[in-house]
Amino acid sequence: MADSSFDIASTYDKQEVANAVNAAAKEIANRYDFKNVGAKVELVGEVIKMEANTEDRCKAVLDVVETWLIKRHVSLKHLDVPEAGPRLSGKEYKLDCPLKEGISSENAKKITKLIREEFPKSVKTQIQGEEVRVTSKSRDDLQAVQRLLKDADLDVALTYTNYR
């Protein structure tokens, strides 16, 4: 019997992100606490841009965006929020949050080490760019790997693709 495999990647649904940002923009336009504070949010390429006239209102816009991302089943691990917080630009506070996709080589090494420690003989891993290929003779082992990674505390959102 041929080996079974799957790829571990870190991707998000771009349409779901666009839907979440649009829903957040509508909510911000309609909410009373955002009236006359210049609050707005938009998706520009791979960056969610937020602004308001106070730092607290800008953080509140971020909270609304995060709420809508969760409702649309997009992991917040894809959102790269700057540690410094909103920056003052003229009279407005702005916050640009790029969206992260792909597994860094550092995280890929953590994932492969974790799998090798748990399944030393039965499961093979291979780093392929921004993905990790996991191969085994047993599909049960592959499912166990997914459970292991789901419970692991990694700072990247994982998706599983290319089942064979």
Give the mean pLDDT per block of 10 residues along the chain (164 residues): 84 94 94 88 94 92 95 92 87 92 90 88 88 90 89 86 82
Q: Are residues 79 and 113 in the same domain?
A: no
Domain encompassing residue 62: 14-98
Distances (CA, A) of 139 to 5, 92, 136, 155: 8, 54, 7, 26
- pLDDT score recorded for residue 1: 54
- pLDDT score recorded for residue 58: 92
d(CA 104, CA 157): 12
Quote the number of domains for the chain.
Answer: 2
In degrees rounded to 5, what are phi and psi of residue 2?
Answer: -75, 155
Domain end call among 98, 113, 132: 98
Residues 40-79 as b/e (b if ≥16 CB within 10 A, e otherwise) read bbebeeeebbbbbeeeebbbbbbebbbebbeebebeeebb
d(CA 98, CA 9): 18
Where do we find the tokens 């292991």? 148
Of 102, 118, 104, nearest in space to 152 by CA: 118
d(CA 122, CA 83): 41
Q: Are residues 19 and 91 in the same domain?
A: yes
Q: Are residues 77 and 60 in the same domain?
A: yes
d(CA 112, CA 109): 5
Q: Are residues 84 and 53 in the same domain?
A: yes
**Strand duo 92-98 + 4-9: pairing:** unpaired
Q: Are residues 69 and 94 in the same domain?
A: yes
